[in-house]
Amino acid sequence: MEALHEAYPDAHCALTFETPFQLLIATILSAQCTDARVNLATPALFAAYPTAEAMAQAPVAHLEQLVQSTGFFRQKAKNILATAQRVTDVYGGVLPHTIAELTTLPGAARKTANVVISVCFPEHAEGIAVDTHVQRIARRLGMTRSWEPVPIERDLLKLLPRDEWNDVTLAMTDHGRAICRAPKPLCASCPEPVASRCPSRERWLG
């Protein structure tokens, strides 16, 4: 794990946001979409509706227009409107910080909840956000044999100290985007000390 820290010391959440609620919305929009594309859509969205209370009053047609570029925009607009309304009505506009509460919000599955908690409420972290990059890197580095997010998360929790959960997963995501790509990683460009400790390197180089 130290290898990932050394290779990506400045790893951070790639989504643009100013509040926990905005990160939640951005993470919901990132489903089946790149963070870069989400970051192109959210400035106008958050300028128009910066808070849960404001977004809860938004016309769904306007939300659809603002998030259209992120794909599946009708369902996403419906979800973020319903989420804003629930955060406003149930939680008084203050985002909750437990997985149990966050996963009651439309469009927010366990991965989304873990992202929000790890970035905004790290002291309340309950798990690790397993996205497609973490899934791939964990397998290639021999940290898990599973293909499924929940078993992968369970395996990572056994290996990583709690205070490293967020930093390591962010580093894994950066490594997955830059080097260890699907379907074929760029092993010749893999940074040390990750390269020398990767059990999959010879397979891909060969």
The structure tokens 């951070």 sit at 12
Condensed to tens digits (0 to 9), the pLDDT of residues 141-196 reads 999 999 999 999 999 999 999 999 999 999 999 999 999 999 999 999 999 999 99
Domain carrying residue 39: 20-124
- Which sequence positions are flagged as catalytic? 111, 131
Do residues 144 and 93 share a domain? no
Report which secondary-structure segment, H or E, holds 4. helix 2-7
At 121 the pLDDT is: 96
Within this chain, do residues 53 and 78 fall inside the same structural domain, yes or no? yes
Say if residues 136 and 180 touch (Cβ distance below 8 Å).
Answer: yes
Q: Does residue 136 fall inside a structural domain?
A: yes
Q: Could you give the number of structural domains in the chain?
A: 2
Q: Does residue 15 lie within any of the structural domains?
A: no
At 123-138, the pLDDT tens digits run 999 999 999 999 999 9
The 3-class secondary structure across 143-202, one letter per residue, is CCCCCCHHHHHHHHHHHCCHHHHHHHHHHHHHHHHHCCCCCCCCHHHCCCCCHHHCCCHH
